[in-house]
């Protein structure tokens, strides 16, 4: 298994939140990141890093961003990982 880091870019706060994952390859890491983006509300985008280099960047579409910025819950609830790496 390879180690990857997911960086979560919030819609509401300026800092980044990081999560470490293990995956068999880049495709599996992408699948995990896609699921996390779909299941975690309040996240604008996720970057997947391997060896400190961004290899994948995923973003929500504009419809989700508009709905979230107007206070609507577009895709249900979710949670953010809690390691703040903005410092």
User: Mapping DSSP to helix (H, G, I), strand (E, B) and coil, where does residue 79 land?
Assistant: coil
Q: Which of the 8 DSSP states describes residue 84?
A: B
Beta carbons of 42 and 74 less than 8 angstroms apart: no
Q: How many structural domains does the chain have?
A: 1
Asked if residue 74 belongs to a domain, the reply is no
Say if strands 43-50 and 2-10 run parallel, antiparallel, or are unpaired: antiparallel
Chain segment 3-50, per-residue pLDDT in tens: 999 999 988 888 899 999 999 999 999 999 999 999 988 899 999 999
Is a pLDDT exceeding 50 seen at residue 73?
no
Rounded to 5°, angle at Cα 55 from 51 and 58: 130
- Residues, the chain: 87
Chain segment 37-70, per-residue pLDDT in tens: 999 888 999 999 999 999 999 998 766 666 666 5
Asked if residue 77 belongs to a domain, the reply is no
| CA gap 59, 34 in Å, rounded | 9
Asked if residue 20 belongs to a domain, the reply is yes
Q: What is the pLDDT of residue 69?
A: 60
Domain hosting 56: range is 2-69
């Amino acid at each position: 298994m390879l180690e990857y880091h997911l960086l979560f870019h919030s819609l509401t706060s300026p800092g980044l939140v990081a999560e470490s994952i293990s995956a068999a390859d880049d495709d599996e890491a992408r699948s995990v990141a896609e699921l996390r983006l779909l299941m975690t509300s309040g996240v604008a985008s996720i970057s997947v890093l391997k060896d400190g280099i961004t290899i994948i960047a995923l973003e929500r579409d504009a419809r989700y961003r508009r709905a979230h910025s107007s206070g609507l819950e577009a895709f249900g609830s979710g949670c953010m990982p809690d390691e703040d790496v903005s410092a």
